[in-house]
Structure formats: structure tokens, C-alpha cells
């Protein structure tokens, strides 16, 4: 049931519900207000803009369109201003903050059920197409992303202290990282709305993902990468035909060049959170996890873990999963329960951890940011306020890990669990140990560590030293081996 004023506008494709003092999802077409567990701090002063818009819209003839089974609103996460969902959009036109996608969840509630999802033959994140930006899964730019395994850890070594420790292994994705999910969704939508050239800065896995989804879609991809980006990420992008530019600076410097290029050449900016659909792709990790946890419990009832550990740079996955949980609750798939979310960052690049510790609502730029975990080298994130909100709402926490420790974590997990983690998740593993030791985690809790990418992209960090070299011509060479 709609509360507040209802208006319709041709370009926005439907009815807007404009309740007073609401969060942005309340502006979704035909979607009822939900305020209790919102991601957002909604700036009431800008509500006036929304009201003015609605007044204007109400003067036009009312066009009651049939509710489309796709997303139907784009709303600023900070000020709540609605944007045209049928056009390429980047940040909020009013306040420059990220836009979030809304759906008419009430309209799809009866058809989009856990059983319906289970019965689908699509083996990718697009089995959740109802809450993604397409009419049906066949319209997606897809390489088979998502549907990654949830692996229970063996009770050996340090992991033996946990009774229910899981890894959601995103290394199984095309291009070897979870960035595939976001790029699949973003490029699907960008191409549908006419983009022919996309651009982004990347210090890691986003580069490869953007390259290969752009190639799959037949569009051009311009990449700006810090010159010290891991070689595997650079090579992967160059081989895939992206126009790669190395930059003698940080990812934030690369971002400035992308902005200039977009203005001059009309590229569509795919930077983290600067377009709305990478979050949508990454939120599918949250949807999948509810199914994975049910399977792990031998139940058909969707369920979430007690704690989720997320290696955090720009925070797209963290924000996306939180959004997914909210949508699932609106769909009636889960209740009010939520996992405690844990942000993990590197000791020398920890803007969100520092802001969390200070109780701030926004994060300051982290000076002289450096870490070998390239995906965590994000000194300032535009979605900082959303991440801090997730931490607060979930009763979560934020932890740093040193570079030595996170590399050690990769080695330890590889040998004990048979999983070659990316260094970002090496940090996550060490953070979980810290929080168990401090008592913040209980051994019996169901804990999920996100392995966001394959360790194979980071071979340069683990040069094998002192490996024996055998002379196969020596008839007694086997004597040198102890077994
Ligand atoms: C392997 C890996 N983990 C984590 C991150 C951080 O992800 P997010 O930007 O969603 O916080 C990145 C980003 O590049 C990454 O490549
Ligand atoms: Zn805004």
C-alpha cells in the first residue's frame, strides 16, 4: 500500500510513492515505505526537491503504466532525489553521492520465490534476474559469474578453533574475482542504454573484469591503472583488448583522469559506486549466501550467517549484500535477522576502520596509503557513509591487519585448507583470528569469510625461494628426497 503522494511521470515509468521523511527505497515505483533498517542517512533538507519535482510531475497527465518486471527507480543514497531510471546515470545530480536501484518488489513477490529460483536452470547470478537490470536472463552480458561455492573449513591448524567457519569462494568467477558480478550487471545495463565506450580506474581485479565483459558486449574499455598494479591484472587487461594506461599515482589519481576522459570523449564512467549497477551485481553474493547457508544446514529455509567478513576497498560488496538482505526481507524470504558485518582493511590503508573507531559518519582520506593487497588500496571511498552505516546497523566492527600478517594468512590457509586466497582475504582470515581471540567471535558462530579473488593473480607476492633443483641425469638423485 502506498503512503504519501502518488504521482506518475512518463519518463520515470510509473507511480512514485513519496512518504515524508523516508529512505530512498520508498521512492521506488509502487514500493511501500520501509524505514526501520535503512542503509541511509536521509537528508531531509533535500526532500523539498523531491516534493517540488512531484508537484511538477503531478501537473502532467497521469500515465498509469503496467509495472515492468525490472528495476524502476534510481534514488540518491544521501539526499533521496529520484533520477530517471531509463538513462545512463552516474552520481546524484544534486549532491554527487551514489545512486541506488529500486524494484517493485511487491509486484514480483508471488513469482520470485526461493523455490522458483532453485528450479531455474541458469547457472549464474542471473538466476536472480528479477532483481537485476534486465527483463530476462537471456538479455544479460554474462560469462557465467556467480553461483560460487561455499566451502566449510577443515578443523585443522588455527581453523580448528572455529566450529562453523566457511569460505565463499569468489575465485571461481570469470576473470578470477567477485568483480565479475558487478561488471556483468553494470555493462549489461550500460549497453542496454546505449554506451559504446566505458572507462574506469583500477588497481586490481576490476580491470580484468571490465575488460572481458566489455569484450563480450563488443564495446571499448579504457583503463587507468597505477603503475604498480599487480602484473597479472595489467596483462589480463591488455590481452583482453582494453586500452590500458599506466599512471604514476594512486587509484584516486587514475580516477581524476577517467573523469577528464569522460568529459572530453563521452566515455561512460564505470568507477566503483559512480554508476548504480555494480552494487546490483555484487548484491547477488548476499542472495546466494542465503541459499548456501540453507544448503549447509540441510534445510530449505533460507538463512544468513552470524558474521560476514569482507575485505573492504570501495565497499561495493558490503553495501550490495546489505541491500540484498533488505530486499529479501521485503520479499518475505527472511526475517529481521542480519549478520554482523566486519570490514577488514590493511594497516596502512584503513580509512573506514579509522572512521569507525572514531565514531564518524564519513571517512577522511587516508594519507600515504600503501598495502600489497591491491584491492584494499583505496584511500578514500565515495560510499564511506554507506559502509559506516552498515557497520552500525549490523552491530559489526572494523579491523586492520598488517601486510606481513595478511601474506602469512594466505600461506597458512593454502597449506591447511587447500584454498589459495587472495591477499585481501589473507587479511580477512587473520582478522577472524584476532576477533576470536578477543572474544568478539564465539567459536560456535556461523562465520563466512569472503575470498574475493584468486591467489593466482598475486603470484608475484610469493616468489618461491630455495626450491631444490634436481639433476635428472644423476642416477641417485632420488636419494636427495625425504618422504
Ligand atoms: C580481491 C579483492 N578483494 C577486495 C576488494 C575490495 O572490494 P570493494 O571495492 O567491493 O570493497 C577488491 C577490489 O579491487 C579486490 O580486488
Ligand atoms: Zn543526492
Confidence band, pLDDT 50/70/90 cuts, at residue 63: very low
Ligand 1 test: best mutation among 205, 371, 457, most atoms within 8 Å of CB? 205
Of 89-93, 189-193, 250-254, 324-328, the one with minimum mean pLDDT is 250-254
What are the residues whose beta carbons fall under 8 Å from the beta carbon of 168, sequence distance 6 or more? 148, 149, 150, 151, 285, 288, 289, 292, 448, 449, 450, 451
| CA of 89, nearest ligand number | 2
What local confidence, expressed as pLDDT, does residue 39 receive?
Answer: 52
Q: What is the mean pLDDT of residues 208-223?
A: 98
The residue behind cell 601486510 is 403
CA of 53 to the centre of ligand 2 (A): 14
Span 274-300, mean pLDDT? 98
What spacing in Å lies between the alpha carbon of 108 and ligand 1's midpoint?
31
Phi first, then psi: what are they for 22, rounded to 5°?
-100, 170
How would residue 442 be classed by pLDDT, with cut points 50, 70 and 90?
A: very high
Question: What is the per-residue pLDDT for 51?
Answer: 33
User: Is residue 67's pLDDT more than 80?
Assistant: no
From the list 197, 253, 198, the residue with the least C-alpha distance to 225 is: 253
The DSSP output letter for 64 is -
The average pLDDT across 120-130 equals 95
Under the banding of pLDDT at 50, 70 and 90, the label for residue 96 is very high
pLDDT of 53 > 50? The answer is no
30: left (phi over 0), alpha (psi -120 to 50) or beta: left
Instruction: Please determine, for residue 47, whether its predicted confidence score (pLDDT) is greater than 80.
Output: no
List, for residues 330-344, the tens digit of each pLDDT value.
Answer: 999 999 999 999 999
- What is the pLDDT at residue 135? 76
Q: What is the DSSP letter of 97?
A: P
- The pLDDT value given to residue 196: 98
Cell of 5: 503522494
* Rounded mean pLDDT, 132-159: 94
Find the mean pLDDT for residues 138-162.
97
- Say whether 247 sits in a helix, a strand or coil: strand
Provide the whole-model pTM: 0.87
Q: Residue 428 — pLDDT band, cuts 50, 70, 90?
A: very high
Whether 312 lines ligand 1, by a CB cut-off of 6 Å, is: yes
Cβ 377 vs Cβ 322: under 8 Å: no
pLDDT of residue 235: 97
> pLDDT at residue 241 above 70?
yes
Confidence of residue 72 (pLDDT cuts 50, 70, 90): confident
pLDDT (average), residues 340-350: 98
Give the mean model confidence (pLDDT) for residues 75-102: 97
Mutate to test the pocket of ligand 1, among 177, 211, 233 (most ligand atoms within 8 A of CB): 177
Tell me the CA distances in angstroms from 124 to 91, 95, 212, one per residue in order. Answer: 28, 35, 16
Three-class SS state of 151: strand
Q: Is 467 left (phi over 0), alpha (psi -120 to 50) or beta?
A: beta
Q: Where are the beta strands (DSSP E) in 389-452?
A: 397-401, 446-451
Model confidence at 6: pLDDT above 50: no
Residue 18 has pLDDT above 60, yes or no: no
Under the banding of pLDDT at 50, 70 and 90, the label for residue 467 is very high
The Cα–Cα gap between 434 and 283 comes to 27
Q: Tell me if 272 CB under 6 Å of ligand 1.
A: yes
pLDDT at residue 25 greater than cutoff 80: no
Bridge partners (DSSP) of residue 401 are 346
| pLDDT tens profile 168-184 | 999 999 999 999 999 99
Q: Percent of the chain scored above 90 by pLDDT?
A: 82
Return the C-alpha cell found at 362. 564519513
Q: Whose CA is closest to atom 9 on ligand 1?
A: 314
- Distance of alpha carbon 14 from the chain centroid: 28
What's the confidence (pLDDT) of residue 16?
A: 29
Q: For 66-80, 146-160, 244-258, which range has the lowest pLDDT when averaged over its residues?
A: 66-80
pLDDT of residue 150 exceeding 90, the answer is yes
> Is residue 205 lining ligand 1, measured as CB closer than 6 Å?
yes
- pLDDT band of residue 252 (cuts 50, 70, 90) is confident
Tell me the mean pLDDT in the region 447-463: 97
What is the average pLDDT score of the chain?
A: 87
105 contacts 327 by C-beta, under 8 angstroms:
yes
Span 192-200, average pLDDT? 97
Averaged pLDDT for residues 405-409: 98
Within 193-276, where are the H helices? 205-217, 231-239, 251-265
Pocket test for ligand 1, best of 175, 178, 232 (most atoms within 8 A of CB): 178
Short-list 167, 171, 242, 184, CA closest to 208: 242
Amino acid at each position: 500500500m502506498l503512503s504519501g503522494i502518488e504521482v506518475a511521470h512518463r519518463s520515470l515509468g510509473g507511480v512514485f510513492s513519496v512518504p515524508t521523511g523516508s529512505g530512498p527505497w520508498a521512492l521506488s515505483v509502487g514500493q511501500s515505505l520501509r524505514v526501520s533498517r535503512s542503509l541511509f542517512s536521509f537528508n531531509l533538507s533535500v526532500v523539498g526537491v523531491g516534493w517540488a519535482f512531484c508537484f511538477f510531475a503531478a501537473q502532467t497527465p497521469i500515465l498509469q503504466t503496467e509495472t515492468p518486471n525490472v528495476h524502476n527507480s534510481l534514488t540518491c543514497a544521501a539526499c533521496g532525489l529520484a533520477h530517471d531510471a531509463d538513462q545512463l546515470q552516474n552520481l546524484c545530480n544534486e549532491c554527487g553521492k551514489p545512486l541506488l536501484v529500486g524494484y517493485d518488489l511487491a509486484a514480483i513477490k508471488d513469482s520470485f520465490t526461493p523455490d522458483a529460483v532453485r528450479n531455474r536452470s541458469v547457472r549464474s547470478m542471473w538466476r536472480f534476474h528479477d532483481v537485476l537490470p534486465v527483463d530476462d536472463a537471456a538479455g544479460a552480458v554474462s560469462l557465467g559469474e556467480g553461483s560460487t561455492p561455499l566451502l566449510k573449513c577443515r578443523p585443522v591448524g588455527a581453523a580448528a578453533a572455529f566450529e562453523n567457519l566457511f569460505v565463499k569462494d569468489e575465485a571461481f568467477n570469470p576473470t578470477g574475482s567477485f568483480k565479475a558480478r558487478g561488471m556483468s550487471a553494470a555493462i549489461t545495463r550500460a549497453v542496454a542504454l546505449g554506451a559504446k565506450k566505458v572507462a574506469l580506474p583500477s588497481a586490481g581485479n576490476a580491470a580484468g573484469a571490465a575488460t572481458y565483459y566489455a569484450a563480450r558486449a563488443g564495446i571499448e574499455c579504457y583503463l587507468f591503472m597505477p603503475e604498480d598494479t599487480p602484473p597479472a591484472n595489467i596483462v589480463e587487461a591488455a590481452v583482453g583488448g582494453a586500452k590500458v594506461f599506466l599512471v604514476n599515482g594512486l587509484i584516486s589519481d587514475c580516477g581524476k583522469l577517467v573523469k577528464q576522459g569522460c568529459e572530453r570523449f563521452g566515455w561512460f564512467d564505470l568507477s566503483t559506486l559512480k554508476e548504480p549497477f555494480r552494487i546490483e551485481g555484487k548484491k547477488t553474493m548476499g542472495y546466494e549466501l542465503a541459499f548456501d547457508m540453507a544448503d549447509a544446514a540441510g534445510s530449505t529455509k533460507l538463512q544468513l550467517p552470524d558474521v560476514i567478513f569482507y575485505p573492504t576497498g570501495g565497499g561495493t560488496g558490503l553495501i550490495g549484500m546489505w541491500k540484498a538482505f533488505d530486499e529479501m526481507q521485503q520479499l518475505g524470504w527472511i526475517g529481521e535477522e542480519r549478520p554482523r558485518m566486519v570490514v577488514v582493511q590493511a594497516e596502512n590503508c584503513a580509512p573506514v576502520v579509522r572512521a569507525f573507531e572514531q565514531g564518524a559518519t564519513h571517512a577522511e582520506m587516508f594519507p600515504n596509503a600503501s598495502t600489497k593487497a591491491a584491492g584494499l588500496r583505496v584511500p578514500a571511498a565515495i560510499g564511506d557513509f554507506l559502509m559506516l552505516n552498515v557497520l552500525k546497523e549490523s552491530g559489526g566492527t572494523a579491523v586492520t591487519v598488517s601486510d606481513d600478517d595478511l601474506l602469512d594468512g594466505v600461506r597458512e590457509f593454502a597449506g591447511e585448507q587447500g584454498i589459495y586466497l587472495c591477499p585481501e582475504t589473507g587479511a580477512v582470515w587473520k582478522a577472524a583470528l584476532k576477533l576470536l581471540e578477543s572474544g568478539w567471535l564465539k567459536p560456535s558462530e556461523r562465520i563466512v569469510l569472503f575470498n574475493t579473488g584468486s591467489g593466482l593473480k598475486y603470484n608475484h607476492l610469493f616468489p618461491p625461494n630455495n626450491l631444490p633443483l634436481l639433476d635428472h641425469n644423476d642416477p641417485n638423485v632420488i636419494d636427495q628426497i625425504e618422504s
